[in-house]
Amino acid sequence: MNDKFTPNQYTARLLEAGVPEVMHDWLSSNGVGALVEKMGIKFLELGARRSVATMPVEGNTQVAGILHGGAHVVLAETLGSFSAGIHAGVNGQALGIEIGATHHRSATSGLVTGTCTAIHLGRTLATHEIVMTDESGRRLSTARITNMIRQKGSDVPVSAG
């Protein structure tokens, strides 16, 4: 927990990733994660119902020079998991239990934008749809992720209260 005097060791990284300062205490022990940093993901909006982030195509391509399908899934899981974590709250934890993606078209350059929208925000499950688009707004892929919501340090789902 941040004591308001000692800088969070991840402050610079969180700011670089676009994470709002209000969420820095929540992410103080792990930051945004090494993979998010390696993929170049930058958050534009973070919330339980809607989150938006960008990711560069450059550096995330497969052998044919197009954005790797797994990169789409990394962006989708990042957005869906962050949104579910926000929904779970400070006493809860979101754990991904299922993800799937359909790829519609390829991208060879520029930024990809992922827009995550809640489908279901329940007491024990959160499901989000994530749509990845190119800079022209064309849909590149659609993913869906379901996270189990539980109390931190427990395998018991968070109770309503």
Residue in 37, 45, 58, 77 annotated catalytic: 77
Distance CA 158, CA 19 (A): 25
Task: Estimate the share of the chain in helix, then strand, then coil, as percent rounded to the nearest 5.
Answer: 20, 35, 40
* Residue type at 157 in one-letter notation: P
16 catalytic residue (yes or no): no
Residue 22 has which token pair?
Answer: 């209000």
Which residues lie closer than 8 Å to 89 by C-beta, 6 or more apart? 158
Burial of residue 4 (CB within 10 Å: 0-12, 13-18, 19+) is: exposed
* Two tokens, residue 18: 């676009």
Q: Which residues of 125-137 are buried (b: 16+ CB within 10 A; e: fewer)?
A: bbbbebbbbbeee
Which residues are annotated as catalytic? 77
